[in-house]
Each structure stands twice: as structure tokens, then as C-alpha cells.
Amino acid sequence: MKYLIVIFCALLMFGCTDKEDIIPKSSALKVGESIELTSVHSAKIKIKRVEGGLIQEGKENAVLIIDIFGTFCEPCKKEAPALMNLQLKHISNMTLIGLSYFEDVDEKYIIENFAKPYNAYYFIAKNSPANKALADTVTEDIKYKSLISLPFKVVLKDGKYRNVTDIWENKTDNKYYIGAVDTAVIEKDLERILKE
């Protein structure tokens, strides 16, 4: 009995940690803050946090699609060429930003193992703390509580998150795409969003 009491007391003293030690702090942007992203091909984009969402500075009225992906992710590889075609089709009124978020790879690796083989020449951000800040902002804004599954996309227009089609239930009241999404679905949503 004495041993159990000693073990229990030791667990209370040393086994518990402060929540701050085990839950990573959010790096979400605050309203008015901007971050600059640099692509793997050295292009630059500034994203600004506005009330309720995000905008691309200089293209405030354009649709902004943020695609959180991984170079290792098979569905991400599969949809990359179609996303490139979507970006080319809507070059004047849409920006697609790819965020490699779950891996620590440099731009050379991303170019050689993702962009070149899968024709993904849209804006893919270099790995940086800005990627985490942007991903944290997105998940906090849409109140997404689960672990992000790849690929994961949100669509914004005029600084607001727009409803997109839930491919599992075919409803247009979702704030994100999860998993591989046929670009025909994205295109249909984009047409509706551009009219709003």
C-alpha cells in the first residue's frame, strides 16, 4: 500500500505537465498582420489577415485558394496537373497557393520531386514559419478542430471563406475541401463564387 501511495504521489508531481507544454501554440495571424510568402521559384506574394479571413495584397478582389499539401501525398501528386490547368484558366481572377506544411523539405526538393514531375508550377511557398502561420489562421478561422488530412483546401473571396462542395455528401455548405477533389467540382464552385 505504501508503494502505491508513493507511485501515485510521484505521478502527481512529475507525470503531469502544463497544457502549454503539450499543445503547440498557434501562430495564427492577427487582423491587420501581413506575411510575405516566397515561392520555390522566388516569386513573392503578401497575404493579409482581415476580419473573418485573408486577402492577397494587390489582388484583394481575386479568389484565393490555399492548398495545404505534401510532396509525399499521392492524391496531392495526382491533382497537381489539374490544379495547374485551373490556375492557368483563371490567371486574372484567382491565385492558388500551395503550402507544404507537414514536411521539412527545401525548394530544390519540392521542385525536383513535385513541381517538375507533376507540372505543378502554380505558387508553391517555400517552407517557412509563414506556412504554419497561414495554416493556423485558416484552421482557426473555419473552426477546424481535427488534424488536417492532405490535401486540404479553402477558397476565399473578398477576404471571406466561401462555401464549397462537400464531395462526400454533395452539399455546398462546407468551408473546406479535404482529400482529392475533381477539378470539375472546384471549377463549378469557382464559377458560383465569382458571381457572388
Q: Where are the domains of the chain?
A: 2-195
Contact residues for 33 (Cβ-Cβ < 8 A; gap 6+): 48, 49
What pLDDT score does 171 carry? 85
State the number of CA atoms in the 13 A half-sphere of 28 facing the CB.
Answer: 18
Neighbouring CB atoms inside 10 A of 186's CB total 23
What pLDDT score does 101 carry? 78
Q: What is the mean pLDDT of each run of 10 residues along the chain (196 residues)?
A: 55 47 71 97 97 96 96 96 97 96 92 97 95 95 92 97 91 92 95 93
**Fold assignment, 2-195:** Glutaredoxin (3.40.30)
What pLDDT score does 18 carry? 46
What pLDDT score does 47 carry? 98
What pLDDT score does 167 carry? 85
> Which amino acid belongs to residue 109?
Y
The Cα–Cα gap between 84 and 122 comes to 6
